Amino acid sequence: MPAPAARRRTSARLISRPPPSQPRAPVSLSRSRSISGSIDESERRAGPGPLSDGTFILTGTLPELSREQSTALIRDAGGKVTGSVSKKTDYVVAGDSPGSKLAKAEELGVEILDEAGLRALLGS
C-alpha cells in the first residue's frame, strides 16, 4: 500500500503552477470551443452496432439510397464513413459510375459491396 501513496505525492509534485505574482493568461472562448469541437461530424460514430469499427467508402450513385441516407445508416450501425480508400478501409460501397475509388479498392483488395450488400450487412 505505501507505493500508491508515494505515487500520488510524486504526481502532485509534478504539477507546475505559476507563482501567485504572475497571473495566468486568459483562455479565449473561441479557443476553448475549437478544442472541444475538434471532432469532425463525419468522424463521429453512433456506438456499437452490426458495423462497429468498420470503415466504409461510398462511391458512385446507389439505386435507392442517397449518399446522406447511406452515411446515416452506416454511422447509426456503428461504422465510420471516410472519403478516400486506404489499407485501413474495410468496405467500399459502389453504385453506378464509381470512378477511381473502385479501382483503388480493387488494387488494395478491399471488399466491394453494392447497395444490396450494404443492406445485408445492416441486417435490413
Sheet holding 80-82, edge to edge: 80-82, 55-59, 91-94, 111-113
CA distance 71 to 58: 8
pLDDT tens digits for range 53-76: 899 999 999 999 999 999 999 999
Residue 58: which of 32, 96, 26, 9 has the closest Cα? 96
**Contact 63/95 with Cβ under 8 angstroms?**
yes
pLDDT tens digits for range 98-118: 989 999 999 999 999 999 999
Tell how far CA 90 is from the center of its chain. Answer: 13
Residue 62: which of 105, 104, 103, 119 has the closest Cα? 119
Q: Does residue 123 register a pLDDT over 80? A: yes
Structure pTM?
A: 0.62
Instruction: Write down the pLDDT at residue 23.
Output: 53
* Helix or strand (DSSP H, E) at 81: strand 80-82
Residue of 10 and 117 predicted with greater confidence:
117
